[in-house]
């Protein structure tokens, strides 16, 4: 995806949101294992193996999206096609948190993504918005919005595990 003047790179937006989510979950008492905390690439299989190695209660993968339709916007929540009830409940808690916090959510979708399939814990992939939508790209390039987004993700995860 092209980077426009003054805009952050997609991978930097993803990492910033993920680090903020990790920090917020840690402050709520969770033990967080980050697959990366710097600008390094980790293969999808390695991400899944990390979740299994640490026996994670949740694998949370944070991304931003793009679309040829520049009007498309909103966060997206993805779970595996064969996801169990617990995974669906976590996804529902995330969707509720997005709505409570005024963040547009496109809903919960089932996909056969490798990062959702190749491990033994519940897995959620979050598309934080669309860089191809100019208004959403501007929000994603704003640190305060990324903090708001991370807070909503952490709140949704915490809501599930508080039950």
Q: Residue 30 has what pLDDT?
A: 95
Residue 5 lies in a domain: no
Position 81 confidence tier, pLDDT thresholds 50, 70, 90? very high
Assess if residue 2 is contained within a domain: no
1 belongs to a structural domain: no
Residue 89 lies in a domain: yes
How many domains in the chain? 1
C-beta of residue 68 within 8 angstroms of C-beta of residue 131: no
**For residue range 86-112, what is the model confidence (pLDDT) as tens digits?**
999 999 999 999 999 999 999 999 999
Q: φ, ψ for residue 109 (rounded to 5)? A: -125, 145
Spatial separation of the C-alpha atoms in residues 90 and 142, rounded to whole Å: 27
Q: Does the pTM exceed 0.85? A: yes
Question: Could you identify the residue written with the tokens 């519940």?
Answer: 122
Model pLDDT for residues 115-146, shown as the tens digit of each residue? 999 899 999 999 999 999 999 999 999 999 99
Domain membership flag for residue 87: yes
44 or 160, which is more confident: 160
Residue 33, domain extent: 10-162
Whether 151 is covered by a domain: the verdict is yes
CATH assignment at residue 14: 3.40.630.40
- Burial of 27 from C-beta contacts in 10 A (0-12 / 13-18 / 19+): exposed
Tell me, yes or no, whether 4 lies in a domain: no
CA dihedral 70, 71, 75, 77 (to 10 degrees): -80
């Amino acid at each position: 995806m092209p980077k426009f003047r003054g805009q952050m790179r997609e991978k930097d937006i993803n990492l910033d949101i993920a680090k903020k989510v990790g920090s917020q979950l840690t402050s709520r008492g969770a033990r967080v294992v980050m697959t990366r905390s710097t600008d390094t690439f980790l293969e999808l299989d390695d991400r899944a193996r990390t979740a299994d190695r640490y026996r994670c209660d949740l694998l949370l993968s944070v991304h931003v999206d793009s679309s040829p339709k520049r009007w498309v916007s909103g966060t997206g929540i993805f779970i595996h096609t064969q996801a169990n009830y617990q995974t669906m409940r976590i996804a529902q808690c995330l969707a509720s948190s997005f709505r409570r916090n005024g963040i547009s959510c496109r809903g919960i979708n089932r996909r056969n993504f490798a990062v959702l399939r190749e491990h033994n814990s519940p897995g959620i992939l979050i598309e934080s918005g669309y860089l191809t939508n100019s208004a959403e790209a501007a929000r994603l390039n704003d640190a305060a919005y990324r903090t708001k987004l991370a807070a909503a993700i952490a709140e949704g995860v915490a809501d599930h595990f508080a039950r």
